Amino acid sequence: MIRVMVVDDSALVRKIATDILSADPEITVAATAANAEFAMAKLERERLDVITLDLEMPGMGGLEAIRRIMSARPTPIIVMSAHAQKGAELTLQALEAGAIDFVLKPSNSLSGGIPAIAKELTEKVRDAARIVMGPPQSLATPLETRSAALAEPHRAAPPVYAPLPLDGERYDLVAIGTSTGGPVALKTVLTQLPADFPVGVVVVQHMPPVFTKAFADRLDSCCAVRVKEAENGDLILPGRVLIAPGNWHMIVTRFGAEPKVLLNQNDPVNGHRPSVDVLMHSVAREYGSKAVGVIMTGMGKDGAEGLRELHGRGGRIIAQDQNTSVIYGMNKEVVQNGNAHEVVPVDQIAFRLRTNVVGVSAARSVV
């Protein structure tokens, strides 16, 4: 049985979450708490596999609770997030502090209400229960280091490093796909790219509306490259990162004078909109051998087929390794399919991008 503690100051939300999780025969709600102080006390007494956590509670806030849990008894945490802009910003901070993932609380603005989140919450609790947490982290440890301590059991083959091209290949686009664990992984990669990175970057991060805008703004404030939530028709420019907006697929096109992104609301693919596969298929067809595809941490298979096509058309594929992935799923599919040229730790992806896109000598000069 997966033992869960539900932490929320709302009795109604605690009951809803408890009812949803208890309906799964493999999950039991072992404890509930109305605030973080009670949760910390129960954490000492209960054996817990996963915690669902509200961020806005009286007394100790959710962010402080996450930091204390990670320093006392690291446990996978799924944030129950509000829909508003403030809720999105707090959720992103929670992910950086060590939370695994988040689900949206039921609201009138969410189509389907409670049933819409029931399946998602149950699946994410199941996924989180598979994660083996690292050792307790000091509260003084940087957030990114604490977050990077998460890893699944080491079952994968050792990282694969393809030989560096002697003269450095030249590419025209970098496309990145990720999901669970992606916000911290993307921050790790994008903060290492220089402002004059010579090509554009397009990204699909599985995330709902409002959150993608807050996420892009947060990255833009800490990266040398420019980061924005994509709008229909945005140009793909050197040193610019475009993140697909929640609930919109994003594709690339080179039709006309300048390359750009286009958005659509076609049916979800692999259960996602935006979908990594949708992006990667368009990258394969528009850029072929002139694109680098990157697949990082995330549950499921989204991106595997698109990257298979990109690989077949001569593009270069980089996969994040298992040891630095919160969930070794999307990237695992690409590696096992034989479509990854390189399998590297997350903190080496930016170096490999600079190597492949800029060239060996130029890349080494900026390390």
Q: What is the DSSP string of 156-192?
A: SPPPB-PPPPSS----SEEEEEE-TTHHHHHHHHHTT
In a domain, 155, yes or no: no
Q: What is the pLDDT of residue 111?
A: 47
Q: What is the pLDDT of residue 269?
A: 97
Q: Which of 139, 162, 188 is the last residue of a domain?
A: 139
How far apart CA 191 and CA 62 sit, in angstroms, is 26
Q: What is the pLDDT of residue 159?
A: 46
- Looking at the fold, whether 191 and 337 belong to one and the same domain comes out as yes
Q: What is the pLDDT of residue 106?
A: 66
In a domain, 160, yes or no: no
Q: What is the pLDDT of residue 356?
A: 74
In a domain, 157, yes or no: no
In a domain, 339, yes or no: yes
Strand pairing of 291-295 and 316-320? parallel
Going residue by residue through the chain (367 aa), what tens digit of pLDDT does each one get?
999 999 999 999 899 999 999 999 999 999 999 999 999 999 989 999 999 999 988 889 899 999 999 998 999 999 998 766 778 889 999 999 999 999 988 654 444 567 778 888 999 999 999 988 877 755 444 444 434 444 333 334 444 444 444 345 689 999 999 999 999 999 999 999 999 999 999 999 999 988 999 999 999 999 999 999 999 999 999 999 999 999 999 999 998 778 999 999 999 999 999 999 999 999 999 999 999 999 999 999 999 999 999 999 999 999 999 999 999 999 999 999 999 999 999 999 999 998 877 653 333 333 3
Phi then psi dihedrals of residue 193, to 5 deg: -90, 135
C-alpha dihedral, 85 to 91 to 96 to 102, nearest 10°:
-140
Identify whether the C-beta of residue 302 lies closer than 8 Å to the C-beta of residue 179: yes
In a domain, 152, yes or no: no
- Residue 76 belongs to what domain range? 2-139
In a domain, 164, yes or no: no
- Looking at the fold, whether 110 and 219 belong to one and the same domain comes out as no
CATH value at residue 126: 3.40.50.2300
- Looking at the fold, whether 118 and 189 belong to one and the same domain comes out as no
Q: What is the pLDDT of residue 288?
A: 96
- Looking at the fold, whether 120 and 207 belong to one and the same domain comes out as no
- Looking at the fold, whether 121 and 183 belong to one and the same domain comes out as no
- Looking at the fold, whether 235 and 120 belong to one and the same domain comes out as no
Q: Which of 83, 115, 139 is the last residue of a domain?
A: 139
In a domain, 17, yes or no: yes
- Looking at the fold, whether 82 and 191 belong to one and the same domain comes out as no
Q: What is the pLDDT of residue 132?
A: 83
Helix (H) or strand (E) holding 205: strand 200-205
Helix (H, G, I), strand (E, B) or coil at 274: coil
- Looking at the fold, whether 244 and 97 belong to one and the same domain comes out as no
In a domain, 217, yes or no: yes
| Nearest Cα residue to 103 out of 115, 90, 117 | 117
How far apart CA 57 and CA 77 sit, in angstroms, is 16
CATH value at residue 196: 3.40.50.180
Q: What is the pLDDT of residue 363?
A: 37
Number of structural domains, the chain? Answer: 2
Q: Which of 139, 154, 182 is the last residue of a domain?
A: 139
- Looking at the fold, whether 325 and 182 belong to one and the same domain comes out as yes
Q: What is the pLDDT of residue 82?
A: 76
- Looking at the fold, whether 130 and 179 belong to one and the same domain comes out as no
Q: What is the pLDDT of residue 113?
A: 62
Q: What is the pLDDT of residue 152?
A: 39
Give this prediction's pTM. 0.87
- Looking at the fold, whether 244 and 306 belong to one and the same domain comes out as yes
- DSSP at 112: T
Active site residues: 179, 206, 302
- Looking at the fold, whether 238 and 120 belong to one and the same domain comes out as no
